[in-house]
């Protein structure tokens, strides 16, 4: 009998086999345990997400009836599961309580907003130009139509505009301004300039809210339509861009044309003036220029802004003339002879708006939304809020022109605190965006901290007794 067949060898072999079998069983059990733990953790995670989503849905449904509950529920959902959907729902809830109706109905052709956000001017098809104070809203009842399901939540975020108590303001018509195509309000809201389809320009005083007065009007230049206007802080220096590429400098208080800014040969997509009227920027298809208007009668072109390949339209300028936003791009004009591209803030925009200090910007994408940006650090723009439910300007009158550019359908006040936008449901809306940080949970907690109502106490107690704790630390 060979050594391999000896009892001792067979015994050792059997022992090793049992040992390996035991190890295999242990490994298998460990694997099953790991899978089980992962499965349990995944189950708990799904359960947590589902519960957070339920809170978000309840918050959305409460927007119209109980804002306090809507904010607290939305904040609890984000604290439990801060995904994009829950954060968006909370952001929309916060914005829904800051909204009003600037025009309850009608197709909007052009808009303007004063620096303090208290005065709006709108050209409404078949209604003419109306002046509106956004200080004294009237309450209008708008039905709330939201269900408690995932699809309803996504729809509310995408479509927005769902609110019950939506304030709107009465309007005062500006007689004789039925075909306005370009509007601008002075920084103090006391004067306005109106450009029309026939090329005429009108200057209005808005001191008396009950009786706006037109103080000057100049006839159209060769019947070319006014495409864009800008008004200096002096209330009389006006820059007007026309359909065929003309840009004229006016002293409207005298009805006098002071100068022509040459160089453009196509539709003027935007004109802008610094508050002191000494710096001007003009853009058209394929070209952009910076001008020195220290001598209004002898303007000097001091710099050029490349427009080739620019993805987007729109122009605005900071009050000091040092920062320009053009088609979603931020430009430093501290040296007007050498404009410097600082950073592309957004792509595929059809309109831009800049606060007077150049620290806040608004972009519209032509697809139903406007985005508010904080650009205190131009190299790192921060998205503060997204306004959904933005409609389009009525530009049917442009069908006779070869125009691809169109003005944006939302704008920002000079102080960065108010947004005026065309509503997708008709008319126009305005929104208080002052103080928003870009973090919806932080903003919600700040609002909750200021609310000491019984409703808030009751909501907190219900939350504490459920699956989630107080969403705001130390609240």
- pLDDT tens, position by position, 37-81: 333 333 334 345 677 788 888 888 888 778 888 888 888 888 888
Say yes or no: 8 and 116 in one domain: no
Read off the pTM.
0.80
8 Å CB contact between 456 and 75 = no
Say yes or no: 270 and 411 in one domain: yes
In a domain, 237, yes or no: yes
Say yes or no: 86 and 103 in one domain: no
In a domain, 57, yes or no: yes
Say yes or no: 258 and 382 in one domain: yes
Say yes or no: 245 and 283 in one domain: yes
Q: How many domains does the structure of the chain reveal?
A: 2
Say yes or no: 210 and 75 in one domain: no
Cβ partners under 8 Å of residue 378, min gap 6: 330, 332, 342, 343
Q: Across 285-396, where does the E strand assignment appear? A: 287-292, 300-304, 315-317, 323-326, 329-332, 340-344, 351-354, 360-364, 369-374, 382-388
pLDDT at 423: 92
Domain with residue 280: its CATH number is 2.130.10.10
86-90: long-range contacts, CB 8 A cutoff, minimum separation 24: 86/52, 86/53, 86/56, 87/440, 87/441, 88/157, 88/386, 89/56, 89/59, 89/60, 89/153, 89/156, 89/157, 90/56, 90/59, 90/440, 90/441, 90/444
In a domain, 139, yes or no: no
pLDDT at 378: 84
pLDDT band (50, 70, 90) for residue 274: very high
Which residues span the domain enclosing 58? Answer: 3-92+445-464
Say yes or no: 299 and 392 in one domain: yes
Say yes or no: 28 and 110 in one domain: no
Angle at 418 between CA 415 and CA 423, to 5 degrees: 150
In a domain, 440, yes or no: no
Q: How far apart are CA 232 and CA 216, in angstroms?
A: 16
Say yes or no: 344 and 458 in one domain: no
Say yes or no: 269 and 393 in one domain: yes
- Name the helix (H) or strand (E) containing 130: strand 128-133
Say yes or no: 86 and 180 in one domain: no
In a domain, 162, yes or no: no
In a domain, 161, yes or no: no
pLDDT at 119: 86
Q: How far apart are CA 121 and CA 428, in angstroms?
A: 11
In a domain, 335, yes or no: yes
Examine the pLDDT at 158 and tell me if it is beyond 60.
Answer: no
Say yes or no: 333 and 238 in one domain: yes
């Amino acid at each position: 009998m060979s050594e391999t067949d000896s009892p001792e060898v067979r015994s050792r072999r059997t022992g090793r086999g049992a040992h390996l079998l035991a190890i295999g069983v242990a490994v298998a059990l460990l694997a099953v345990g790991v899978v089980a733990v992962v499965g349990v953790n995944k189950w708990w995670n799904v359960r947590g997400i589902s519960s957070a989503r339920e809170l978000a849905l309840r918050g959305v449904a409460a927007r119209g009836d109980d804002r306090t509950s809507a904010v607290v529920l939305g904040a609890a959902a984000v604290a439990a599961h801060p995904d994009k959907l829950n954060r968006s729902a909370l952001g929309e809830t916060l914005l829904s309580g800051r909204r009003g109706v600037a025009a309850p109905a009608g197709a909007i052709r052009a808009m303007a907003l004063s620096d303090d956000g208290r005065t709006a001017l709108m050209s409404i098809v078949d209604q003419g130009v109306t002046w509106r104070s956004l200080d004294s809203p009237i309450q209008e009842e708008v039905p709330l139509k939201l269900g408690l399901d995932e699809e309803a939540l996504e729809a509310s975020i995408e479509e927005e505009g769902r609110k019950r108590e939506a304030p709107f303001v009465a309007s005062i018509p500006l007689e004789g301004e039925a075909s306005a195509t370009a509007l601008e309000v002075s920084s103090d809201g006391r004067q306005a300039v109106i450009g029309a389809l026939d090329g005429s320009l009108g200057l209005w005083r808005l001191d008396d809210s009950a009786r706006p007065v037109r103080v000057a009007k100049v006839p159209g230049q060769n019947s070319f339509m006014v495409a864009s206007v800008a008004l200096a802080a002096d209330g009389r220096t006006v820059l007007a861009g026309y359909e065929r590429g003309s840009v004229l400098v006016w002293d409207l208080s005298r009805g006098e044309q002071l100068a022509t800014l040459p160089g453009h040969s196509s539709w003027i997509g935007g004109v802008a003036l610094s508050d002191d009227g000494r710096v001007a920027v003009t853009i058209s298809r394929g070209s952009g220029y910076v001008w020195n208007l220290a001598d209004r009668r002898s303007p000097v072109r001091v710099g050029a802004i490349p427009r080739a390949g620019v993805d987007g339209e729109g122009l605005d300028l900071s009050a000091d003339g040092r920062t320009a936003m053009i088609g979603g791009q931020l430009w430093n004009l501290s040296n007007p002879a050498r404009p410097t591209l600082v950073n592309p803030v957004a792509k595929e925009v059809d309109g831009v708006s800049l606060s007077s200090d150049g620290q806040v910007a608004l972009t519209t994408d032509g697809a139903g939304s406007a985005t508010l940006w904080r650009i205190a650090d131009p190299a790192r723009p921060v998205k503060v809020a997204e306004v959904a439910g933005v409609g389009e300007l009525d530009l049917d009158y442009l069908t006779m022109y070869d125009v691809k550019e169109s003005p944006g359908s939302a704008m920002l006040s000079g102080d960065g605190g108010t947004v005026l936008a065309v509503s997708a449901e008709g008319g126009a809306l305005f929104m208080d965006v002052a103080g928003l940080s870009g973090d919806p949970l932080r903003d919600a907690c700040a609002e909750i901290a200021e609310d000491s109502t019984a409703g808030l106490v009751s909501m907190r107690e219900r939350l504490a007794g459920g699956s989630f704790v107080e969403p705001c630390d130390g609240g």
